[in-house]
Amino acid sequence: MRYKKYFLPTLKDAPSEAEIISHKLMIRSGMVKQSSAGIYSWLPLGFRVLKKIEKIVREEQVKSGAIEILMPTIQSADIWIKSGRYDDYGKEMLRIKDRAGRDMLYGPTNEELVTEIFKSYISSYKDLPKNLFHIQWKFRDEIRPRFGVMRGKEFLMKDNYSFDLNFDAAKESYNNMFRCYLRTFLRLGLTPIALKAESGAIGGNLSHEFQILAQTGESTLYYDKKLENIDPSTADIEQLQKYYAAVDDEHDPKTCPVEKSQLKISKGIEVGHIFYFGTKYSEKLNAFVQTKSGSKIPVEMGSYGIGVSRLVGAIIEAYHDDKGIKWPKQLAPFFVSLINVNINDEKCNQVSEEIYNNLNHTNIDVLYDDRDVSLGVKLSDSDLIGIPFKIIIGPRDIKTNQVQIEERLTGKKFMLSINDAYNYITNEMKVFSNSDN
Ligand code: ATP
Ligand code: MG
């Protein structure tokens, strides 16, 4: 992408209503624009990151056996009346009437709708288990939208729903999603902490929240340091639950099994939440399945949510410095910033174009800064928007065929020949693409 042709409106200052660093940086780097309280447009840079997060979330869902569908944002009130949640949900639900006067709503979650879909097509134990997911916008009329996309009214959620014949199978689905969540967050570069949670409005008796550590989080967490070292691809649920973690109102220093030196206290942001709720919805909405012996029983369900748009802010909370965002490579909107120091220098232009074309051919996302602005502005914009690598092409260096490489995450700077620079970047790209799978 050529910067001059692109749409990347960076700002020097953040608006005063932005309280936390991720919100400030998202606005300053031109990722989002607020359209009204808690509702945002995603500008090109923000949209790219949102899609990268979505892709990782999707891949991990598919790997764990969930099947993608897409349900609408607007739902009929009827099914919510049947489940009993139409009144319970209260003012967070955005209620709408269509032209015929029918009560509709903008979905805050999808248990009812997915149960309706399930029961229309599946009625036998032979077709179980099933696990359906979608990645769709939700609306909750939050009383206090804040922190930018982290607590919005309209937000993107990945939600999935498991359907099983009995409790044991449902528990297995739950544990499977538990592991899937840990893997997902690790792939996003985050340290997930799983905590037993109250299941709240969605209801039920087994629930975990997934929190990531961040100073600006809304919850206080107490946990065993060892949790940070668990490899979820090899860990089982028992092992994961062996280590202590609690939110502050559940933490009691008298009964806490963790030694003081092993106990960590930190703030957390909730990025995911999973629930097992049994037959709560299937009974109310009549989703019954036939067992092997011929009897009909309500299907066992669980639901699982990840805040995809919240993650954009949460990840910035974990990856930034005083210059701006420091994207983990797998999420960066561009992998390389190609900085042409002097657009009036023929050699600089020629080498920049050459590197630009080569990187494009290798499918490496490159932002070519071809603007007629000072080097200082180019460098600080690149730092602000958090691109992992810079290739800097300056008139003096280029006389000896050298370019400078800068790494955003480590701050490392070094000179390489043009050829080695290209190889270095393609190699970095390979290293991180391989580690994804
Ligand atoms: P919270 O306690 O933060 O309000 P919740 O318990 O209401 O979250 P769930 O209903 O479990 O959230 O939704 C699943 C996920 O969706 C949450 O873990 C969170 O990451 C995300 N989420 C929920 N509400 C919002 C919101 N207002 N803005 C952005 N993301 C949200
Ligand atoms: Mg909520």
SS3 of 238-298: HHHHHCCEEEHHHCCCCCCCCCHHHEEEEEEEEEEEEEEEECHHHHHCCCEEECCCCCEEE
Q: Among 273, 303, 308, which residue has the most ligand 1 atoms within 8 Å of its CB, making it the best to mutate?
A: 273
Could you give the number of structural domains in the chain?
A: 2
Would you tell me how many other CB atoms lie within 10 Å of the CB of residue 7? Answer: 9
Question: Does 340 lie in the same domain as 308?
Answer: no
Rounded Cα gap, residues 1 and 11, in angstroms: 20
Helix (H) or strand (E) holding 40: strand 39-42
Kindly state whether residues 82 and 130 are assigned to the same domain: yes
From 278, 296, 324, give the residue that closes a domain: 324
How sure is the predictor about 196, in pLDDT bands with cuts at 50, 70 and 90?
confident
Cα(194) to centroid(ligand 2), Å:
18
pLDDT tens track for 287-345: 999 999 999 999 999 999 999 999 999 999 999 999 999 999 999 999 999 999 999 99
Give the CATH number of the domain where residue 198 resides: 3.30.930.10
| Position 363 in a domain | yes
Q: Identify whether residues 303 and 410 lie together within a single domain.
A: no
CA distance 277 to 302: 6
Q: Give yes or no: residues 17 and 108 share one domain.
A: yes
| Last residue of one domain, picked from the residues 324, 359, 394 | 324
Q: For atom 1 of ligand 1, which residue has the closest CA? A: 270
Tell whether ligand 1 has an atom less than 6 A from the beta carbon of residue 212: no
Closest CA relative to residue 97, chosen from 85, 105, 89: 105
Q: Which of 378, 2, 300 is nearest to 129 (CA)?
A: 300
Please check whether residue 137 lies inside any domain of the structure. Answer: yes
Left (φ > 0), alpha (ψ -120 to 50) or beta: where does 133 sit? beta
Ligand nearest to the CA of 212: 1
Name the band, by pLDDT with cuts 50, 70 and 90, for residue 232.
Answer: very low
What CA–CA distances, in Å, run from 368 to 355, 373, 405?
A: 10, 13, 14
Same domain, 206 and 345: no
C-alpha 26, offset from chain centre: 15
Both 390 and 263 in one domain: the answer is: no
Using the 3D structure, point to which of 291, 324, 357 is the last residue of a domain: 324
Identify whether 231 is part of a domain: yes
Radius of gyration, alpha carbons of the chain = 24
Supply the CATH number for residue 340's domain: 3.40.50.800
Closest ligand 1 atom, residue 271 Cα = 20
Q: 3-state secondary structure string, 160-193?
A: EEEEECCHHHHHHHHHHHHHHHHHHHHHCCCCEE
How would residue 278 be classed by pLDDT, with cut points 50, 70 and 90? very high
Residues 6 or more apart whose Cβ sits within 8 Å of residue 139? 73, 94, 106, 107, 108, 153, 154
| Residues 165 and 107 placed together within one structural domain of the fold | yes
183 within a domain of the structure (yes/no): yes
Report if residue 1 sits inside a domain.
no
Ligand nearest to the CA of 158: 1
Verify that 211 and 239 share a domain, yes or no: yes
Q: Is residue 2 part of a domain?
A: no
Is there a domain that residue 329 lies in?
no
pLDDT of the residue at 229: 76
13 within some domain: yes
Residue 118: closest CA among 161, 61, 72: 161
Verify whether ligand 1 is closer than 6 Å to residue 307 (CB atom): yes
Q: Which residues are registered as beta bridge partners of 245?
A: 223
Residue minimizing CA distance to atom 11 of ligand 1: 273
| Alpha carbons 195 and 97: distance in angstroms, whole number | 39
Question: If you average pLDDT over every residue of the chain, what do you get?
Answer: 93
pLDDT of residue 252 exceeding 90: no
Let me know whether 16 and 121 are in one domain: yes
Q: Which residue segment(s) compose the domain that 52 sits in?
A: 7-324
- 253 φ, ψ (degrees, to nearest 5): -55, -25
- Residue 199 pLDDT grade (very low, low, confident, very high; cuts 50, 70, 90): low
Q: Do 294 and 347 fall within a single domain?
A: no
By alpha-carbon position, which residue is closest to atom 6 of ligand 1?
Answer: 273
Pocket test for ligand 1, best of 310, 311, 315 (most atoms within 8 A of CB): 310
Q: By CB neighbour count within 10 A (0-12 exposed, 13-18 middle, 19+ buried), where does 351 fall?
A: buried
Do 367 and 312 share a structural domain?
no
Question: How many percent of the chain have pLDDT more than 70?
Answer: 94
**pLDDT > 50? residue 233:** no
Assess whether 319 and 400 both reside in one domain. no
Residue nearest to atom 21 of ligand 1 (CA): 307
Residue 200 has pLDDT above 70, yes or no: no
**Is 148's C-beta closer than 6 angstroms to any atom of ligand 1?**
no
